[in-house]
Structure 1
Amino acid sequence: MSQIKLTIDNKTVQVAQGTSIVDAAKQIGVNIPTLCHMKLEHVGYENKPGGCRICVVELEGRKNLAPACKTICTEGMQVSTHTLRVINARRTVMELILSDHPAECLTCVKSGKCDLQTRAQELGIREIPYQGEQSKYKEDKSPAIIRDMDKCIMCRRCEMMCKQVQTVGCLSAINRGFESVVAPAFEMDLEKSTCTYCGQCVAVCPTGALSEIDNTRKVIAALVNPNKTVIVQTAPAVRAALGEEFGLEPGTLVTGKMVSALKKIGFDKVFDTDFAADLTIMEEGTELLNRLQKHLAGDKNVKLPILTSCCPGWVNFFETNYPDMLDVPSTAKSPQQMFGAIAKTYLAEQMKLKREDLVVVSVMPCLAKKYESQRKEFQVNGNPDVDLSITTRELSQMIKGANLNFNELHNEEFDNPMGESTGAGVIFANTGGVIEAAVRTAYELHTQKTLEKVDFHELRGFEGIRSATVDFDGFPLKIGIAHGLGHARQLLNEVKAGTSTFHAIEIMACPGGCIGGAGQPYHHGDTNILKQRAAAIYREDAGKAIRKSHQNPFIIKLYDEFLGEPCGEKAHKLLHTHYFDKKPKVK
């Protein structure tokens, strides 16, 4: 690609043709403030509607100011990014935006991490000279996400993520002028829309217009209730990101400190969702082998490829968009729900507790887990298997609220019997990890041979769609992997058309997998942060004494004492589920 030269703030820079002024300025360390602009390196998308006008710059020979995010560099261009004219224009724009924005910074969920707040501070805004009518919209509370559109600045980042990256198409700009807002069609509530609760819109929202349902108050209420025994499970992705909330580098493993913090907060038992991930592999892996055996025996009715079912955002997606394929995904519950089902039966029995007196809390990197835990099929007489789900961010707030110096906490171990896990369980956090864990176990169960090489590097990576063929002792097992719902749609369309050649497909709703979940510390599309988290997960896997799910001694004991055999009658009743047609009906 040909190069061009231009000058930015009297500094010469050479860039490729087609480069925006914002990106050119970054190359020489010049920061141009933005609000609507966002570059998502991990998915290859860029949001630049040019609507906010905070990024305006002055160009020699041009009368009006130019938005730096949308203006493409040209040969010899002379750019000034911080002249008095530019600063005055940015301040005026910011003052106008703030004049229609609630002054609720003290109580806003995004306070301290709000891009609008940060830009206002950078511009030295101390008063709003423009007074007038403010927008008033109804608050929309779904099981996982809150929409407070009084705080929307029409940056349309959420629309880009929902439409282009995830291809869900739930959010779009509607109405005109002062009444314009980003919302589902006909301004319906999220709960009635095609929303999957993946939460990626929340992850990119620059203000508090989109946020997760906060369950921390309910968790605290349970902890102080003397009649309740409160246990907690922590998802594998949390340990690789929680430290970022306390100033640690991305990818710093804080497993032991996290356990210590949870015990000091007051949880009666602290368990690892990795245990349930191992359990998931026993069920999902057995289901895969059962389908393969039928396929090899010539059964033309067997449903292949089998699709993983660990991700509730992805489950919502196929229930809404592919209701005619509900018999294709695995029926295995997610690790969160398997943990809850075993906790409210086997563990409650061990602890001599009534089901309703045991409160199960989960710490997840995901917003869809909040919705999943409320699904009626995961309840027994109205009592849920998982009572409350909180995000990594919510946990960090609880730790800070408890006045714990997280970085000085000593490492502690998970409790047993549901705290012991293998390396296969921990890699569920990464895209490709679920299917890699499944292959480690399925290979040995299928071939009755020891798998010496447990690291399947061909299943790892950050490409949106990946494929690999794994040699199952002479049988070529063809595997597909997709992360991000837009990529999932591509593979599903192939399955629907009958052109897919895969035997098994892993899908995760969030780019990067659970490490990039919408409940994690905000990464703002920085691929390096996601890669560092992923590397941390693989380090923990490599350091485990046992790295195959079927060798977890507590899993073996659970089947011997309680469940029977994988995919057996009792296991199927407790650990498997069914799916529903959620496609919106046209009246």
Structure 2
Amino acid sequence: MPNVTLTIDGRQVTVPAGTTVLEAAREAGIFIPTLCHDPLLPGWGACRLCVVEIPGMRNLPASCVTPVAEGMVVYTASEAVIEARRTIIDLLLSNHPMDCLTCEKNGDCRLQDYAFLYGVRQPSFKGEKKNYPLDDSNPYIVRDLNKCILCGRCVRTCQAVPERAVIDFGYRGFNTKVVTAMDTPLGDSSCVYCGRCVAVCPVGALTYKPLAGKGRTWEVEKRPVTCTFCESGCAFDLVVKNGRVIGVMAKEPGPGRPLCLKGRLGLELLYVEEPLKPMLKKDGQFVPVSWAEALGLESILDRMKKVEGKEGR
């Protein structure tokens, strides 16, 4: 594949043809903010926070979906670009709860980081705000749609798993939100609670219930660990506070995102000093179950007993 040479903020950068402006900038160590972009699921371009200025183009294009071209000149921090990003952040904050002090994502929220970076202290747009009830319908994931910025990362990572696609965008205009089939609570859906969506959420719309209130972002350390229950090798992080493992969460970014709940439950049993009692849905209700049942070991034990019984005859 031929290479393309372009200029980004006065610096010449050479990348393979087909590379996006965002990828070229990051390869050169040039910062461009993103909310909806996911390196594993590219080509979305929804939030527009990654806009840049390219002379000759009519508008400010989103760098995550704009391919490089030979001789292209890109400005990532011009006056027009900075103003556009401030306006986008302002619009997002205008329909976003301002409870950062008590939010589980405080210190690990991209919207919060970018508001600080671009000096957006208070939203200037007034009007109706979202007022959805907290979805606390399952033991593992809490959904607060009032904090959702509609970046679509959770939707895309869920749909990336064959035959999964539990969530998608529903309704239109101001009423647009991420929904399950028939807009039922997450606990009533076909969600398997693997945690992929929580791992990629850039704000506090999706959080882990088992970790609620156990530690702020700056109080904990994350240590990578790989699930060995099957050959998929899903990647997780052990959440450590004061030398103790207090929980397990899906690792992001990078490959190896989780595919099921079993891996996280198994790692909790292995590493967490006081693991929570596992819960599984039976007859439409979540009920406490044994660790053997939660990890799918009961059926294996039953088969082994049957084999032993046959061989003993």
TM category, shorter: 0.7 to 0.9
Query: Is residue 68 of structure 2 the alignment partner of residue 73 of structure 1?
Result: yes
Which position in structure 2 is the counterpart of 1:183? 179
Q: Which of 1 and 2 has higher RCO (CA within 8 Å, sep 6+)?
A: 1
Measured in 2, the distance between the counterparts of 1:80 and 1:312 equals 42
SS of residue matched to 1:59 = coil
One-letter amino acid of the counterpart of residue 163, structure 1: Q
Deviations 1:129-168 (A, max 9, x none): 1111111222211221111000000100001110014641
Which position in structure 1 is the counterpart of 2:84? 89
Which position in structure 2 is the counterpart of 1:492? none
One-letter amino acid of the counterpart of residue 57, structure 1: V
Give RMSD over aligned pairs. Answer: 3.8
Deviations 1:316-364 (A, max 9, x none): xxxxxxxxxxxxxxxxx9687799xxxxxxxxxxxxxxxxxxxx9317x
Which position in structure 1 is the counterpart of 2:121? 126
Which position in structure 2 is the counterpart of 1:11? 11
Measured in 2, the distance between the counterparts of 1:184 and 1:153 equals 17
**Residues 56 and 262 (structure 1), Cα distance of their counterparts in 2 relative to 1, 3 Å cut:** closer
Which position in structure 2 is the counterpart of 1:35? 35
SS of residue matched to 2:104 = coil
Query: Is residue 45 of structure 2 the alignment partner of residue 50 of structure 1?
Result: yes
Measured in 2, the distance between the counterparts of 1:26 and 1:211 equals 28
Measured in 2, the distance between the counterparts of 1:71 and 1:195 equals 34
**Residues 133 and 204 (structure 1), Cα distance of their counterparts in 2 relative to 1, 3 Å cut:** same
Counterpart among 108, 115, 137 of residue 110 in structure 2: 115
In the superposition, the TM-score normalised over structure 2's length comes to 0.73
The within-5 A match list for 1:132-151 is 132-141=127-136, 142-151=138-147
Query: Is residue 265 of structure 2 the alignment partner of residue 378 of structure 1?
Result: no
SS of residue matched to 1:361 = coil
The within-5 A match list for 1:185-584 is 185-214=181-210, 261-262=243-244, 313=261, 361-362=274-275, 370-372=278-280, 376=287, 378=289, 567-568=304-305
Sequence identity (%): 38
Counterpart among 99, 104, 110 of residue 99 in structure 2: 104
**Residues 162 and 370 (structure 1), Cα distance of their counterparts in 2 relative to 1, 3 Å cut:** farther
One-letter amino acid of the counterpart of residue 27, structure 2: Q
Deviations 1:164-199 (A, max 9, x none): 146411011111110011111221111111100001
Deviations 1:214-243 (A, max 9, x none): 4667x9xxxxxxxxxxxxxxxxxxxxxxxx
SS of residue matched to 1:75 = coil
Measured in 1, the distance between the counterparts of 2:74 and 2:205 equals 33
SS of residue matched to 1:182 = strand
Whether the 8 Å CA contact 1:169–1:194 is kept in 2: the answer is: no
In structure 2, the gaps of 5 or more residues are 226-239, 247-258, 295-300
Measured in 1, the distance between the counterparts of 2:304 and 2:288 equals 18
Deviations 1:516-570 (A, max 9, x none): xxxxxxxxxxxxxxxxxxxxxxxxxxxxxxxxxxxxxxxxxxxxxxx9xx9459x
Which has more helix, going by share of residues?
Answer: 1
**Residues 59 and 216 (structure 1), Cα distance of their counterparts in 2 relative to 1, 3 Å cut:** closer
Whether the 8 Å CA contact 1:197–1:371 is kept in 2: the answer is: no
Counterpart among 151, 158, 161 of residue 154 in structure 2: 158
**Residues 245 and 69 (structure 1), Cα distance of their counterparts in 2 relative to 1, 3 Å cut:** farther
Which position in structure 1 is the counterpart of 2:250? none
Measured in 2, the distance between the counterparts of 1:16 and 1:79 equals 17
**Residues 107 and 167 (structure 1), Cα distance of their counterparts in 2 relative to 1, 3 Å cut:** farther
Whether the 8 Å CA contact 2:42–2:64 is kept in 1: the answer is: no
SS of residue matched to 2:7 = strand
Measured in 2, the distance between the counterparts of 1:173 and 1:180 equals 7
One-letter amino acid of the counterpart of residue 313, structure 1: L
**Residues 247 and 194 (structure 1), Cα distance of their counterparts in 2 relative to 1, 3 Å cut:** closer
Whether the 8 Å CA contact 1:144–1:212 is kept in 2: the answer is: yes
Which position in structure 2 is the counterpart of 1:289? none
**Residues 161 and 371 (structure 1), Cα distance of their counterparts in 2 relative to 1, 3 Å cut:** farther
SS of residue matched to 2:56 = coil
Structure with higher Rg: it is 1
Measured in 2, the distance between the counterparts of 1:106 and 1:24 equals 36
One-letter amino acid of the counterpart of residue 7, structure 1: T
Deviations 1:92-146 (A, max 9, x none): 1110111000001011111100111111111111121111111122221122111
In structure 1, the gaps of 5 or more residues are 40-44, 220-243, 252-257, 266-310, 316-332, 340-359, 364-368, 380-384, 390-562, 573-587
What is the deviation of 1:38?
A: 1.6
One-letter amino acid of the counterpart of residue 289, structure 2: F
Whether the 8 Å CA contact 1:49–1:155 is kept in 2: the answer is: no
Query: Is residue 68 of structure 2 the alignment partner of residue 59 of structure 1?
Result: no
Whether the 8 Å CA contact 2:134–2:144 is kept in 1: the answer is: yes
Whether the 8 Å CA contact 2:279–2:287 is kept in 1: the answer is: no
Whether the 8 Å CA contact 1:17–1:73 is kept in 2: the answer is: yes
One-letter amino acid of the counterpart of residue 371, structure 1: M
SS of residue matched to 1:138 = coil
One-letter amino acid of the counterpart of residue 202, structure 2: P
Measured in 2, the distance between the counterparts of 1:157 and 1:185 equals 18
**Residues 337 and 34 (structure 1), Cα distance of their counterparts in 2 relative to 1, 3 Å cut:** closer
Deviations 1:464-498 (A, max 9, x none): xxxxxxxxxxxxxxxxxxxxxxxxxxxxxxxxxxx
Whether the 8 Å CA contact 1:4–1:16 is kept in 2: the answer is: yes
SS of residue matched to 2:120 = coil
Whether the 8 Å CA contact 1:158–1:201 is kept in 2: the answer is: yes
Measured in 2, the distance between the counterparts of 1:6 and 1:29 equals 14
What is the deviation of 1:47?
A: 3.8
Measured in 2, the distance between the counterparts of 1:249 and 1:362 equals 17
Measured in 2, the distance between the counterparts of 1:62 and 1:262 equals 54
What is the deviation of 1:61?
A: 1.1
**Residues 15 and 261 (structure 1), Cα distance of their counterparts in 2 relative to 1, 3 Å cut:** closer
Whether the 8 Å CA contact 1:4–1:74 is kept in 2: the answer is: yes
In the superposition, the TM-score normalised over structure 1's length comes to 0.41
